[in-house]
Amino acid sequence: MFRLVCINCGAEYNQNEVIYRCGKCGHLLAVEYDFDTIDVSRREWDSRPLKLWRYKELLPVSREPVTLQEGGTPLYHLKTIGEELGLKELYAKHEGMNPSGSFKDRGMTVGVSMALQLGMKTVACASTGNTSASLAQYAAKAGIPSVVLLPAGKVALGKVAQALMHGAKVIAIRGNFDRALEMVHDLCIKEGLYLLNSVNPYRLEGQKTIGFEAIDQLGGVPDRMVLPVGNAGNISAVHKGLGELIKLGFIDSMPMMTGVQAEGSRPVADAISKKLPEVIPDKNPETIATAIRIGAPVNAEKALRAIRETNGTALSVTDEEILAMQRDLARKEGVGVEPASAASVAGIKKMAEEGLLDKDERIVCVVTGHLLKDPETVIRQCEPPTEIDADLESLLSVLR
Ligand SMILES: *Cc1c(COP(=O)(O)O)cnc(C)c1O
Ligand SMILES: [Zn+2]
């Protein structure tokens, strides 16, 4: 049993309503469970495979879910990078290992299942790329059509390829992500499509399981959880989920929620450093990390609370720092991620170097998407392959 509750005025909405924002004040909604009716134990969860649906008692879906077996992503100990920074317990949760190659799949298995549960016939989203790839894939699995709006020319190649191949109706608009989101929101309200951006509270329900898994894999609560921040849905989701584990008595402390943005797209980091009550949108966000190129983060209100309530922080890193960390993860740890994902670890590097954290902290960085999502940015950073004549002598001469 759950209700949708406005995080601002507390207005309540029934679980059968198709609604994205509070009808009274326009603020965000969140799923609230009736904890008296939730009957599950840690032991019961532990007996199930490490996958997202292990946690079904804390998810809103009551029908058979639309699933591609998302979740259960690896948690890697970053030994080499950690040693260089003096951090013994630095981990990366590799969300690029989900079915479509990003954590968006956690939101979509729940979101598309809810679309069917609510009787919706078509799903839609605006996207910097990964949301569209994931939505296309889950809509295909569900057998329903999907419509995705992308900012023209600003989406990494692999993501467009996925959305197209999985059969979404892909529309590139001459405008940025924030504009695409306004447009798709209007479209959904007007035409009755189901909106699956992270304003949709069910998306965040799926994404909160990143935190559940990290705790199960570590065998305890980390001191800090670090996430790249675009629309700020994921950091809000992980925080919400861990709060629920506290309510259930499964854990007794919260990690410091830490958000990392790109220098050219950092409204959340600014709001934290300047102690603003809310974020001031950035009209022209720019960064090579296209997945976090967002000037008006939809979930900012939730994210600021998450960060402040846990004594966390938000900071920004430059595109150069992001790309350098993408290479370090790839070459020193064997972890292949897209640029936005490297931002979380780049943020920790900066905090460690500037003395902004305790080096004994147990830190989990969420790395959000796979290396192959953005092959063009990778190729531009690397030496091209050495081309030689097809004989052994040439081969030996280039290897010498
Ligand atoms: C969506 C996405 C983000 C940003 O997540 P938000 O929930 O929008 O803050 C970061 N990295 C990657 C790879 C993404 O796809
Ligand atoms: Zn309200």
| Domains of the chain: residue spans and CATH | 75-101+203-381 (3.40.50.1100)
User: Cα of 181 to ligand 1 centre, how many Å?
Assistant: 15
Please tell me the predicted confidence (pLDDT) of residue 357.
Answer: 98
pLDDT in tens, 289-319: 999 999 999 999 999 999 999 999 999 999 9
Please tell me the predicted confidence (pLDDT) of residue 35.
Answer: 93
Please tell me the predicted confidence (pLDDT) of residue 1.
Answer: 85
The ligand with the least distance to the CA atom of 267 is 1
Instruction: Give me the residues of the chain with pLDDT under 70, please.
Output: none
pLDDT in tens, 239-256: 999 999 999 999 999 999
Q: Which atom of ligand 1 is nearest to 228's Cα?
A: 10
Is residue 130 annotated as involved in ligand binding? yes
Please tell me the predicted confidence (pLDDT) of residue 23.
Answer: 96
User: Cα of 209 to ligand 2 centre, how many Å?
Assistant: 26
User: Cα of 236 to ligand 2 centre, how many Å?
Assistant: 18
Token pair 């991620």: residue: 337
Q: Which atom of ligand 1 is nearest to 303's Cα?
A: 9
